[in-house]
A and B are shown apart, each in its own frame.
Chain A
Amino acid sequence: MRWIWIDRFIEFVPGSHAKAIKNVTLAEEHLHDHLPGFPVMPGSLMLEGMAQTGGILLGQVHNFEHVVILAKVPKITFHSWATPGDTLTYTTKLLEARDEGGMVSCTAHVGDRLVAEGEIVFAHVDQAAAGSGRIDQKSFVFSMQLLGVLDVGKAGDGVMKLTNL
């Protein structure tokens, strides 16, 4: 299984905000245990999807020169849940983008229903540290294969060719 928790970007405005969708399906093994008889998308994986949406938004600011990792979740609130057949829409807004890291606000919706909202802080790790094996690769919110998700996305005004970066 690939650690990609978004299916497609539907909006990507560099330096401002990004929206991605995640279709929840019963083909996902974990839903059969979470929870037995009541399959719901785990909150932790929604958070991961929002972090991937926001991590790519932040990474683009510096042309993906930094390895962006999820560093901290100062707050996250789950108001509702998502079940198989639902399409989750993750919206992230860039609050900070600096050399050493950044921060986004994020929401998850199913239709008009607010499922989750919070804030995520990211740190930049240089390539050398990332390659030394000291950092668990699974914790990366951004990796090269994730860039492919942008192929089907719509990049803001269409001027920016994200897939060529």
Chain B
Amino acid sequence: MATRDEIFEKVRATLVDALGVDDDEVTPQARLSADLGAESIDFLDIVFRLEKAFNTKIPRGELFPENFASADVTLVADGQVTAKGLAELKSRMPHADVDAFAKDPKVENIPELFTVNMIVNFLVKKLGG
């Protein structure tokens, strides 16, 4: 089984290919959108490349949940993710740092959950399990 470091290195190479960023920009804390400039379509490209690099299948919405805010009106109120919404995020994204997000749970901050570390967590769990 690959170690966490090995997984990180492969994720780094994947993001360098998909986003055209430099090696040293891809740190564990880097946010895909804010720091690495990823746009919505890049998430699809990233999933394609991760599947190939790790020889695994990543079903739609498993790594990057879609349409979170519009799926259920009780998950969001006044532009903030509700307590129920936070619980939902935690259950859908056990690989993300939802506790850090909960300190300022604005809907527009949801993309902040998508970090390099989140992808590594996801793969460690997926490949290890």
**What is A's interface to B at a CB cutoff of 8 Å?**
71-72, 74-75, 95-96, 98-101, 103, 121, 123
Contact = CB atoms under 8 A, between A and B. Distances in A.
Nearest to A124: B44
Nearest to A98: B60
Interface of B: 17-18, 20, 41-42, 44-45, 48, 51-52, 60
B27 to A, nearest CB: 22
B60 A103 contact: no
A123 B60 CA distance: 13
Given A74-B17, A74-B18, A123-B41, A95 B60 contact: no
A101 B17 contact: no
Nearest to B61: A100
Nearest to B60: A100
User: What secondary structure prevails in chain B residues at the interface with A?
Assistant: helix
Nearest to B42: A72
Nearest to B66: A100
Contacts of B42: 72
The CB with the most chain A CB atoms within 10 A, among B42, B44, B48, is that of B44
Given A74-B17, A96-B48, A103-B48, A121 B41 contact: yes
Contacts of B48: 95-96, 103, 121
Contact of A100 (B18, B44, B51): B44
B60 A121 contact: no
Question: Among the interface residues B18, B42, B45, which one has the most CB atoms of the partner chain A within 10 A?
Answer: B45
A96 B20 CA distance: 20
A107 to B, nearest CB: 18
A101 to B, nearest CB: 5
11 contacts: A72-B42, A72-B45, A74-B20, A95-B52, A96-B48, A96-B51, A100-B44, A101-B44, A103-B48, A121-B45, A123-B44
B13 to A, nearest CB: 13
Contacts of A98: 60
Contacts of A121: 41, 44-45, 48
10 pairs of A and B residues whose beta carbons are closest in the complex: A71-B41, A96-B48, A72-B41, A121-B45, A101-B44, A103-B48, A100-B60, A72-B45, A123-B41, A74-B45
A156 to B, nearest CB: 24
B76 to A, nearest CB: 22
Contacts of B51: 96
